[in-house]
Structure 1
């Protein structure tokens, strides 16, 4: 009887050590990915800032990210944009994605799954596939608008007001039931009411679901970043902090609404300044 107890104790001890090693490896890799993506984003923003922009009617400057340079093709421009978009999204989303992935690992690990690394990677890839599709849509819309703005001066002059309106709408979305629903699904992961299976297909679908909920939840704040300026590291840091805090805070819905108050105020200020009242 004593030998059985000792064997069981050693097994529990080995499992505990294995779990601690797995936890340290997971968070270590996540930290390295965040550091690498953040560094690449900073370098990209610096290089884009060094290129300058195109002064536009209305007193604003168009980013070169939406323009085709001499010798470039539109597919090449889109590929370059998507590459940096993915790196930027990794830097912005990893602080809030990492806890969700860890909860997934714990949920699947309780079922005795030993392929946690591969399944976790599949969840992460599925998540960022959704964000890549979001980025492709953003590029198509941004490039089309940039082309119109260069051809129609009246439209270009309206951009500062339009940017303020987008910020205002993004802030208003923070108060909606739609936002609250997707935020709750992000916080309730894994599963959001579904039972997770420990297989590759389920991991892939779970990553896609997380990506959809996250992109919908962050749609307003991401739109704000796009109109304020993707190369603005301060704006990027503020949006990242807002997304992370509302996702990880115990009272996430209240935090989202508080962020909404600040963003609505910023949108009103931008509109007032654009029409000469600020």
Structure 2
């Protein structure tokens, strides 16, 4: 079904609509990537955790949480749009084939719902990061255990890449779009599937550094490859092998004198 939708030849007006869709997507990607780079530069100037997770002078926790969640969502737009774009296009083709009106509006609504899922995840990430930062400030000895804990997370994330659960989540991300639900529900469902599919890689990004401009494109490329290439399961296992080696090396450097 997916390959059939991808190969459908659309009328001229629909082809023009597709070019507009791609142009708008490119602008959104460029804007979100630029905002992400600016955010990471400003946050890196504040130093490492825990201070990077603390509100600035005169800023409330609520406003800081809202700012972080907003910028996290923008970052996810830049990271996830390359892998989301083919799915949104298939959704648009399915709408065109079914003769549905307002294809652009439906696409925008589905995309908004997809990134709303990532916004909610960003709020949870902020709560976790702020809690860890508070614990570090309360018990400084905890900071000495974090390198080993980070290595364990990377190791576990690599192992998860080999699981049947991971393969099922990837298959769910590639499933043909269903038109039996609203665009909002479709976007939410796709967002939840894709968020669970890349949970291991997201965990790796978090322990490496959520504001690391080298880690973000690497994780984004890994997510895009395992979702879009025909042998995605094999790519996921290769990524898992690299993560396992990296996790073991990090554990060894943290534990050995």
- Tell me the TM-score normalised to structure 2 length: 0.93
Residue 58 of structure 1 aligns with which residue?
A: none
1:155 Cα deviation after fit: 1.4
After TM superposition, the structure 1 stretch with the greater mean CA deviation from structure 2, 42-51 or 74-83, is: 42-51
1:169 Cα deviation after fit: 1.1
1:259-274 correspondence to structure 2 within 5 Å: 259-274=239-254
Residue 194 of structure 2 aligns with which residue?
A: 214
1:53-64 correspondence to structure 2 within 5 Å: 53=48, 62=49, 64=51
Gaps of 5+ in 1: 1-12, 54-61
1:167-206 correspondence to structure 2 within 5 Å: 167-191=154-178, 196-197=179-180, 202-206=182-186
The answer (yes or no) to whether the contact 1:65–1:81 under 8 Å persists in 2 is no
1:74 Cα deviation after fit: 1.0
Residue 244 of structure 1 aligns with which residue?
A: 224
CA distance in 2, matches of 1:80, 1:138: 13
Selected match of 2:15 from 3, 17, 20: 20
The answer (yes or no) to whether the contact 2:36–2:74 under 8 Å persists in 1 is yes
Gaps of 5+ in 2: 1-8
Please give the secondary structure, in 1, of the residue aligned with 2:100: coil
1:24 Cα deviation after fit: 0.6
1:173 Cα deviation after fit: 1.1
Selected match of 2:84 from 78, 97, 102: 97
The answer (yes or no) to whether the contact 1:245–1:252 under 8 Å persists in 2 is yes
The answer (yes or no) to whether the contact 1:66–1:142 under 8 Å persists in 2 is yes
Return structure 1 stretches of 4+ with deviation > 4 angstroms.
Answer: none
Residue 40 of structure 2 aligns with which residue?
A: 45
The answer (yes or no) to whether the contact 2:50–2:136 under 8 Å persists in 1 is no
Alpha-carbon deviations, 1:155-210, whole Å to 9, x = none? 1110010111111111111111111111101112313xxxx13xxx6111100100
Alpha-carbon deviations, 1:33-59, whole Å to 9, x = none? 111101111111111122223xxxxxx
CA distance in 1, matches of 2:32, 2:146: 30
The answer (yes or no) to whether the contact 2:50–2:133 under 8 Å persists in 1 is no
Residue 5 of structure 2 aligns with which residue?
A: none
Residue 35 of structure 1 aligns with which residue?
A: 30
After TM superposition, the structure 1 stretch with the greater mean CA deviation from structure 2, 68-77 or 226-235, is: 68-77
Alpha-carbon deviations, 1:140-159, whole Å to 9, x = none? 11111110111112211100
Distance 1:167 1:35, change over 3 A: same
Residue 127 of structure 2 aligns with which residue?
A: 140
Number of matched pairs: 249
Please give the secondary structure, in 1, of the residue aligned with 2:113: helix
Q: Whose Rg is larger?
A: 1
